[in-house]
Chains A and B, each alone.
Chain A
């Protein structure tokens, strides 16, 4: 460490720059990739149902907890990580489909805000169930790929981190292609714009809705496993408390109707958040990264509700 008493020489400046700017940008981008992944599911459901799904964080949690249960055994023989992860993502898809069938469909004609309250209720229910099974203390999930890809000075990039960014980029590209190139994708968009008319031209609206939610569950599940594998303890509701709000902010910031927007927004939010947290002392603003998120969201909604890449609000 360079002592602060020394006159600012180039080494010191370089160190300062790296610890205040470079490191936060890189680690922020990795955190942000998970927000983006979670945000992709939010954008998907907003595009198709015009709602905010407050249960998205818990779809992710369900996948992470199930993966943990698979790798830890829970009395059964321990599974290889890949199988456990597949089981986890499947669990998230099942939960999303159940949500769609039991909560969303009965409320199809209700005001959207009622539906949003219902998704928040679903989140609360899932948190309680996770609490019942795994306890309040939280569990630790291993990373998908252990080890570091790069360490230099204060900077440390894990393999998991690189993997997260790659997965996000691939999934964002795939979902974007899905909506622009496939029949099912365009059908989903058509349903979102004109539910009555589309059912008249023979598109099975109910099946499309289930498909969308299943897809959202899948994206959420992948996000959950990657987030939990980043380190730290996974407790009931942790993803709702710590990842859902940045994910929403990312989705709105990037443009709530834009899938590439969610990707871009996620990475940018991650970077802004980490830069803020690293450069604003805790004694001045406690938990600066949350405060930064609030202001980014507020300013986006006030100045440009359509977001960076969105075309409509």
Chain B
């Protein structure tokens, strides 16, 4: 259980301090602070044009902020370019699906493993044995992810022709294939119906458990935010409007005003945990338990912002394996670590 790479549970994975960026005359972000702790799922919400995606782009290195800093596990990474951050463990998705459209699903998942491919360009070009071995491992991991997401049927299909919901899911798979430590998801449920969105929420919880992920999620679908997020930040006009537990944010007057222009607080859809949800949880726990995981505490958000109890205690060491495919995933995913 206590591998050498064990991190103090609850340490800040991502810390954004005083982030500001300006495009011409537009102040897109102003003094934004946010923090994502180990194994947390943190929501980033706000009306359209509030600067959520801009914040993502600053965090992942696509934009360089004018002031402020981005730290990853205590290291200042404000100026690191996107591909360096991807290699560090930042996995991200895009608002409008970021994938290579003319390539197949399998090829996309292999492309996403670029930084951890396990061989250099030269040995690839010359066809040295190590590149062949590494390629087989990449394919195996890609296939495992396809199985995990139930997308095996589109393995060799061109990504371009798939439905939006499938694309969003596959894109999540690509982000997973980058072997992330922290996942940044930009509207993962856009283009999905309510059922699909709920399913995705469950998936995120399972993924966190299995792969020890930390997540920052931009999301509009309120039930999902309430269901999966441990902590929520609200952006409005480039400023941080509020932060807190989802249930608190839900009734925060300023947040409601920002969304609805000063309507009644209860206008924000309040979704309490239903019986059905509880049953789902139980089912999930049972699976986890059956697979020999340590007894997790309840998945529900903790009263204070403390370590997420349900999460594994070692980084990147899936402790819970739910079902056969997940076990297989874990096995193949471990292969790439030399």
A–B contact with Cβ pairs below 8 Å: the answer is: no
Taking Cβ atoms with an 8 Å cutoff, the residues of A that contact B are: none
Residues of B within 8 A of A (CB): none
